[in-house]
C-alpha cells in the first residue's frame, strides 16, 4: 500500500485517534444496538491515562490517521486493544498491517491475546485468518459475550 506508514503514536495524535475511534465503533454499536459502549464514551482524558500504560500505534495515509491499535505488554505477552480503522479506509489491509506491526515490534513475547464481541462476525473471521485461535468466551450480560483469541508467537518465552 503506497503512501501508508505505521509508527508509534505521540500524545499529540490522541485527539485524532479518539475521533477515529468514535467513527470506527459506530458499526459495532449498531450490531449490539448499544451506543453507550466504552469506545464511544471514552474521553480524551481517559485515553491519555490509558496511553500511559498502553503503547499506541497509528497507520497514517494521506497525512491522516486511518487506523490505530493499542498494545499492553506484561508478563511475556501482549494484549491487543481497540484495533480500529476509519470506515473510509476499511478493506485496504490497514488492520492486517497494524496487527503485523504489533507482532514484529514484540518478537520476544510468548503470545498475543485480544477479544471482540460475540456478534462481531467480521472481526472473528479477521482474527481467525491472521492465525488467532479462540480460547474462551465470557458472558458480560444477557446481550453480550466477549470472545477471546490468542496467537502463540514464541515457544517457551
- Which residue ranges of the chain lie beneath pLDDT 70? 1-2, 155-157
- Give 8-35 pLDDT, tens digit per residue: 999 999 999 999 999 999 999 999 999 9
Instruction: Check if the beta carbon of residue 111 is closer than 8 Å to that of residue 153.
Output: yes
Q: Which three cell numbers stand for residue 102?
A: 504489533
- Report which DSSP code applies to 29: H
Tell me the C-alpha to C-alpha distance, in Å, between residue 75 and each of 15, 27, 79, 110, 157.
30, 33, 10, 9, 10
Predicted local confidence at residue 45, as pLDDT: 98
Rounded Cα distance, 37 and 157, in Å: 35
What domains lie within the chain, and their CATH numbers?
4-152 (3.40.630.30)
pTM: 0.92
CA atoms within 13 A on the CB side of 83: 23
Predicted local confidence at residue 155, as pLDDT: 58
Please spell the DSSP secondary structure of 96-109, one letter per residue: HHHHHHHHHH-TT-
Rounded Cα distance, 140 and 147, in Å: 10
Nearest in space to 88 (alpha carbons), one of 64, 123, 70, 69: 64
Residues 6 or more apart from 51 whose CB is under 8 A from it? 9, 11, 14, 70
- Specify the DSSP element, H or E, that contains 67: strand 64-74
Rounded Cα distance, 107 and 76, in Å: 10
Amino acid at each position: 500500500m503506497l503512501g501508508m506508514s505505521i509508527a508509534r503514536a505521540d500524545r499529540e495524535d490522541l485527539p485524532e485517534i479518539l475521533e477515529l475511534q468514535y467513527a470506527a465503533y459506530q458499526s459495532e454499536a449498531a450490531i449490539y444496538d448499544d451506543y453507550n459502549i466504552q469506545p464511544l464514551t471514552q474521553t480524551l482524558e481517559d485515553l491519555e491515562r490509558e496511553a500511559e500504560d498502553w503503547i499506541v500505534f497509528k497507520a497514517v495515509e494521506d497525512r491522516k490517521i486511518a487506523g490505530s491499535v493499542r498494545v499492553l505488554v506484561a508478563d511475556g505477552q501482549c494484549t491487543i486493544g481497540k484495533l480500529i480503522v476509519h470506515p473510509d479506509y476499511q478493506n485496504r489491509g490497514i488492520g492486517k498491517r497494524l496487527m503485523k506491526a504489533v507482532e514484529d515490534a514484540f518478537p520476544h513475547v510468548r503470545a498475543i491475546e485480544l477479544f471482540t464481541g460475540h456478534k462481531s462476525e467480521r472481526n472473528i473471521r479477521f482474527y481467525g485468518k491472521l492465525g488467532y485461535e479462540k480460547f474462551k468466551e465470557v458472558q458480560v450480560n444477557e446481550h453480550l459475550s466477549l470472545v477471546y483469541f490468542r496467537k502463540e508467537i514464541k515457544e517457551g518465552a
